[in-house]
Amino acid sequence: MKDVKSQASRNPAPGKQGSLNAEIQSRIGHQLRAMYDDIVRQGVPERFADLIRKLDVPPNSPQLNNTGDQTTTNNDGRE
Amino acid sequence: MPLTDALRDDILASVPSLRAFAISLCGNSDRADDLVQETLLRALANIDSFQPGSNLPAWLFTILRNLFRSDYRKRRREVEDAEGNYAKTLKTQPAQGAHLEFQEFRAALDKLPQDQREALILVGASGFSYEDAAGICGCAVGTIKSRVNRARSKLAALLYVDGAEDFGPDETVRAVIGSNG
Protein backbone atom coordinates (compact mmCIF):
# COMPACT_ATOMS: atom_id res chain seq x y z
CA MET A 1 0.00 0.00 0.00
CA LYS A 2 2.88 2.31 0.75
CA ASP A 3 4.06 1.46 -2.72
CA VAL A 4 2.33 4.46 -4.17
CA LYS A 5 5.01 6.57 -2.61
CA SER A 6 7.92 4.46 -3.75
CA GLN A 7 6.46 4.25 -7.23
CA ALA A 8 6.71 7.98 -7.42
CA SER A 9 10.30 8.00 -6.22
CA ARG A 10 11.17 5.29 -8.67
CA ASN A 11 11.04 7.69 -11.56
CA PRO A 12 13.51 10.34 -10.61
CA ALA A 13 14.22 13.16 -13.01
CA PRO A 14 17.32 12.49 -15.08
CA GLY A 15 20.51 14.35 -14.30
CA LYS A 16 21.70 15.09 -10.79
CA GLN A 17 19.04 13.11 -9.05
CA GLY A 18 19.81 10.08 -11.22
CA SER A 19 23.47 10.03 -10.28
CA LEU A 20 22.67 10.55 -6.62
CA ASN A 21 20.38 7.60 -6.97
CA ALA A 22 23.11 5.51 -8.57
CA GLU A 23 25.45 6.36 -5.72
CA ILE A 24 22.84 5.40 -3.14
CA GLN A 25 22.11 2.17 -4.96
CA SER A 26 25.75 1.21 -5.07
CA ARG A 27 25.99 1.91 -1.35
CA ILE A 28 22.95 -0.26 -0.65
CA GLY A 29 24.40 -3.05 -2.77
CA HIS A 30 27.65 -2.81 -0.88
CA GLN A 31 25.98 -2.95 2.53
CA LEU A 32 23.80 -5.83 1.51
CA ARG A 33 26.77 -7.89 0.36
CA ALA A 34 28.83 -6.92 3.41
CA MET A 35 26.07 -8.15 5.69
CA TYR A 36 25.70 -11.37 3.77
CA ASP A 37 29.38 -12.12 3.28
CA ASP A 38 30.01 -11.60 6.96
CA ILE A 39 27.88 -14.67 7.61
CA VAL A 40 29.23 -16.64 4.65
CA ARG A 41 32.74 -16.17 6.04
CA GLN A 42 31.73 -17.94 9.25
CA GLY A 43 31.96 -21.15 7.23
CA VAL A 44 30.20 -24.38 8.09
CA PRO A 45 29.32 -24.73 11.78
CA GLU A 46 30.32 -28.09 13.21
CA ARG A 47 26.67 -28.89 13.74
CA PHE A 48 26.04 -29.11 10.00
CA ALA A 49 29.28 -30.80 9.07
CA ASP A 50 28.38 -33.43 11.65
CA LEU A 51 24.87 -33.81 10.36
CA ILE A 52 25.97 -34.44 6.82
CA ARG A 53 28.81 -36.70 7.88
CA LYS A 54 26.50 -38.86 9.96
CA LEU A 55 24.02 -39.21 7.18
CA ASP A 56 26.80 -40.72 5.15
CA VAL A 57 26.98 -43.70 7.49
CA PRO A 58 24.58 -46.50 6.56
CA PRO A 59 21.45 -46.11 8.68
CA ASN A 60 21.78 -49.51 10.37
CA SER A 61 25.30 -48.81 11.56
CA PRO A 62 25.65 -48.43 15.35
CA GLN A 63 27.73 -45.75 17.13
CA LEU A 64 26.06 -42.93 15.30
CA ASN A 65 25.69 -40.78 18.37
CA ASN A 66 29.00 -41.67 19.85
CA THR A 67 31.38 -39.25 18.18
CA GLY A 68 32.03 -37.30 21.36
CA ASP A 69 33.83 -34.51 19.55
CA GLN A 70 31.45 -31.61 19.98
CA THR A 71 33.73 -28.76 19.10
CA THR A 72 30.94 -26.26 18.93
CA THR A 73 28.85 -25.87 22.01
CA ASN A 74 25.38 -25.01 21.04
CA ASN A 75 23.73 -23.65 24.11
CA ASP A 76 20.23 -23.41 22.97
CA GLY A 77 18.34 -22.94 26.15
CA ARG A 78 15.35 -21.79 24.25
CA GLU A 79 12.99 -24.55 25.14
CA MET B 1 20.45 -38.99 -7.74
CA PRO B 2 22.13 -40.97 -4.93
CA LEU B 3 24.09 -39.14 -2.26
CA THR B 4 27.61 -39.37 -3.62
CA ASP B 5 30.67 -37.97 -1.90
CA ALA B 6 30.83 -35.18 -4.43
CA LEU B 7 27.21 -34.24 -3.90
CA ARG B 8 27.67 -34.28 -0.15
CA ASP B 9 30.65 -31.95 -0.51
CA ASP B 10 28.60 -29.66 -2.70
CA ILE B 11 25.82 -29.55 -0.15
CA LEU B 12 28.32 -28.75 2.60
CA ALA B 13 29.81 -26.02 0.44
CA SER B 14 26.37 -24.44 0.16
CA VAL B 15 25.86 -24.27 3.91
CA PRO B 16 27.54 -20.88 4.48
CA SER B 17 25.35 -19.15 1.92
CA LEU B 18 22.25 -21.01 3.07
CA ARG B 19 22.92 -19.64 6.54
CA ALA B 20 23.45 -16.16 5.21
CA PHE B 21 20.17 -16.36 3.34
CA ALA B 22 18.36 -17.77 6.38
CA ILE B 23 19.74 -15.10 8.71
CA SER B 24 18.91 -12.38 6.21
CA LEU B 25 15.36 -13.67 6.06
CA CYS B 26 14.62 -14.15 9.72
CA GLY B 27 17.20 -12.01 11.49
CA ASN B 28 17.69 -14.49 14.30
CA SER B 29 20.65 -16.81 14.07
CA ASP B 30 19.28 -19.58 16.27
CA ARG B 31 16.15 -19.81 14.23
CA ALA B 32 18.13 -19.46 11.03
CA ASP B 33 20.33 -22.40 11.95
CA ASP B 34 17.29 -24.49 12.75
CA LEU B 35 15.96 -23.56 9.36
CA VAL B 36 19.21 -24.59 7.69
CA GLN B 37 19.19 -27.87 9.54
CA GLU B 38 15.64 -28.58 8.49
CA THR B 39 16.57 -27.68 4.93
CA LEU B 40 19.50 -30.09 4.91
CA LEU B 41 17.41 -32.93 6.33
CA ARG B 42 14.67 -32.24 3.81
CA ALA B 43 17.18 -32.09 0.97
CA LEU B 44 18.90 -35.30 1.96
CA ALA B 45 15.59 -37.10 2.37
CA ASN B 46 14.58 -35.97 -1.12
CA ILE B 47 17.94 -36.24 -2.77
CA ASP B 48 16.49 -38.61 -5.36
CA SER B 49 14.45 -35.77 -6.77
CA PHE B 50 17.53 -33.61 -7.37
CA GLN B 51 18.42 -33.56 -11.06
CA PRO B 52 22.14 -34.19 -11.55
CA GLY B 53 23.76 -31.25 -13.28
CA SER B 54 21.08 -28.80 -12.25
CA ASN B 55 21.73 -25.90 -9.93
CA LEU B 56 22.24 -27.37 -6.45
CA PRO B 57 22.34 -24.07 -4.54
CA ALA B 58 19.12 -22.97 -6.23
CA TRP B 59 17.49 -26.26 -5.28
CA LEU B 60 18.59 -25.90 -1.64
CA PHE B 61 17.56 -22.25 -1.48
CA THR B 62 14.12 -23.21 -2.80
CA ILE B 63 13.68 -25.73 -0.01
CA LEU B 64 14.85 -23.25 2.61
CA ARG B 65 12.64 -20.50 1.30
CA ASN B 66 9.57 -22.74 1.30
CA LEU B 67 10.28 -23.91 4.83
CA PHE B 68 10.75 -20.34 5.95
CA ARG B 69 7.48 -19.34 4.35
CA SER B 70 5.45 -21.98 6.12
CA ASP B 71 7.26 -21.38 9.38
CA TYR B 72 6.88 -17.62 9.09
CA ARG B 73 3.13 -17.80 8.96
CA LYS B 74 3.18 -19.56 12.29
CA ARG B 75 5.65 -17.25 13.96
CA ARG B 76 5.11 -13.84 12.47
CA ARG B 77 5.31 -12.11 15.81
CA GLU B 78 8.67 -13.49 16.83
CA VAL B 79 10.11 -12.56 13.49
CA GLU B 80 9.15 -8.97 14.04
CA ASP B 81 10.97 -8.99 17.36
CA ALA B 82 14.11 -10.52 15.95
CA GLU B 83 15.88 -7.34 14.89
CA GLY B 84 17.95 -6.96 18.02
CA ASN B 85 19.32 -10.46 17.82
CA TYR B 86 21.11 -9.89 14.60
CA ALA B 87 24.26 -8.36 16.01
CA LYS B 88 24.91 -11.53 17.99
CA THR B 89 25.39 -13.50 14.81
CA LEU B 90 28.52 -11.62 13.88
CA LYS B 91 31.80 -13.22 14.68
CA THR B 92 33.75 -10.02 14.32
CA GLN B 93 32.03 -6.95 15.57
CA PRO B 94 32.58 -4.06 13.23
CA ALA B 95 33.82 -0.75 14.58
CA GLN B 96 31.23 1.21 16.49
CA GLY B 97 30.27 3.71 13.80
CA ALA B 98 30.07 1.07 11.12
CA HIS B 99 28.15 -1.12 13.50
CA LEU B 100 25.43 1.46 14.02
CA GLU B 101 25.17 2.08 10.32
CA PHE B 102 24.94 -1.65 9.88
CA GLN B 103 22.11 -1.92 12.39
CA GLU B 104 20.24 0.82 10.61
CA PHE B 105 20.65 -1.08 7.39
CA ARG B 106 19.43 -4.27 8.99
CA ALA B 107 16.43 -2.48 10.50
CA ALA B 108 15.56 -0.98 7.12
CA LEU B 109 15.86 -4.35 5.46
CA ASP B 110 13.46 -5.80 8.01
CA LYS B 111 10.90 -3.16 7.08
CA LEU B 112 10.64 -4.42 3.53
CA PRO B 113 7.77 -6.68 2.60
CA GLN B 114 8.99 -10.25 2.64
CA ASP B 115 8.62 -10.75 -1.12
CA GLN B 116 10.84 -7.79 -1.79
CA ARG B 117 13.40 -8.64 0.85
CA GLU B 118 13.97 -12.15 -0.38
CA ALA B 119 14.17 -11.05 -4.01
CA LEU B 120 16.72 -8.38 -3.15
CA ILE B 121 18.86 -10.79 -1.12
CA LEU B 122 18.80 -13.52 -3.74
CA VAL B 123 19.82 -11.20 -6.55
CA GLY B 124 21.83 -8.56 -4.71
CA ALA B 125 23.68 -10.70 -2.17
CA SER B 126 23.48 -14.39 -3.03
CA GLY B 127 24.33 -13.57 -6.63
CA PHE B 128 21.56 -15.55 -8.29
CA SER B 129 20.40 -14.54 -11.74
CA TYR B 130 16.91 -13.10 -12.05
CA GLU B 131 15.91 -16.39 -13.67
CA ASP B 132 17.21 -18.50 -10.78
CA ALA B 133 15.66 -16.16 -8.24
CA ALA B 134 12.33 -16.46 -10.06
CA GLY B 135 12.64 -20.24 -9.91
CA ILE B 136 13.41 -20.15 -6.19
CA CYS B 137 10.46 -17.88 -5.45
CA GLY B 138 8.12 -19.59 -7.88
CA CYS B 139 7.23 -16.47 -9.81
CA ALA B 140 7.91 -14.78 -13.15
CA VAL B 141 11.25 -13.16 -13.93
CA GLY B 142 9.51 -9.81 -14.40
CA THR B 143 8.00 -10.11 -10.93
CA ILE B 144 11.44 -10.64 -9.41
CA LYS B 145 12.82 -7.64 -11.28
CA SER B 146 10.07 -5.41 -10.05
CA ARG B 147 10.39 -6.67 -6.48
CA VAL B 148 14.13 -6.00 -6.52
CA ASN B 149 13.54 -2.51 -7.88
CA ARG B 150 10.90 -1.73 -5.31
CA ALA B 151 13.11 -3.10 -2.55
CA ARG B 152 16.00 -0.89 -3.65
CA SER B 153 13.96 2.28 -3.84
CA LYS B 154 12.33 1.59 -0.53
CA LEU B 155 15.71 1.04 1.14
CA ALA B 156 17.01 4.21 -0.43
CA ALA B 157 14.00 6.11 0.89
CA LEU B 158 14.35 4.62 4.37
CA LEU B 159 18.08 5.09 4.66
CA TYR B 160 19.04 8.08 2.60
CA VAL B 161 16.05 10.24 1.90
CA ASP B 162 13.39 10.27 4.61
CA GLY B 163 15.81 9.56 7.42
CA ALA B 164 18.61 11.76 6.12
CA GLU B 165 18.58 14.11 9.10
CA ASP B 166 18.37 11.20 11.51
CA PHE B 167 21.89 10.20 10.79
CA GLY B 168 23.64 12.37 13.37
CA PRO B 169 25.14 10.66 16.41
CA ASP B 170 22.65 12.28 18.79
CA GLU B 171 19.72 10.72 17.09
CA THR B 172 21.43 7.35 16.93
CA VAL B 173 22.34 7.39 20.60
CA ARG B 174 18.82 8.38 21.49
CA ALA B 175 17.48 5.54 19.40
CA VAL B 176 19.73 3.04 21.16
CA ILE B 177 18.82 4.34 24.61
CA GLY B 178 15.17 4.49 23.63
CA SER B 179 15.14 0.89 22.58
CA ASN B 180 15.98 -0.19 26.12
CA GLY B 181 12.86 1.26 27.59
3-state secondary structure (DSSP) of residue B139: coil
pTM above 0.80, yes or no: no
Distance between start and end Cα atoms, chain B: 54
Q: Where are the alpha helices (DSSP H) in chain B?
A: 5-26, 29-45, 56-81, 96-111, 114-124, 130-137, 141-156, 169-178
CB within 8 Å: A32 and B125: yes
**Which of B147, B156, B155 has the alpha carbon at shortest distance from A17?**
B156
3-state secondary structure (DSSP) of residue B136: helix
Domains defined along chain B, listed by start: 1-89 (1.10.1740.10), 92-181 (1.10.10.10)
CB within 8 Å: B37 and A48: yes
Q: What is the C-alpha separation between B157 and B91, in angstroms, rounded?
A: 30
Q: What is the C-alpha separation between B62 and B42, in angstroms, rounded?
A: 11
Q: Where are the alpha helices (DSSP H) in chain A?
A: 3-9, 16-40, 46-54
Q: Would you write out chain A's pLDDT as a tens digit for each of its 79 residues?
A: 444 444 444 444 444 556 668 888 899 999 999 999 999 999 999 999 888 887 765 554 444 444 444 444 444 444 3
Between A28, A34, A38, which is nearest B156 by CB?
A28
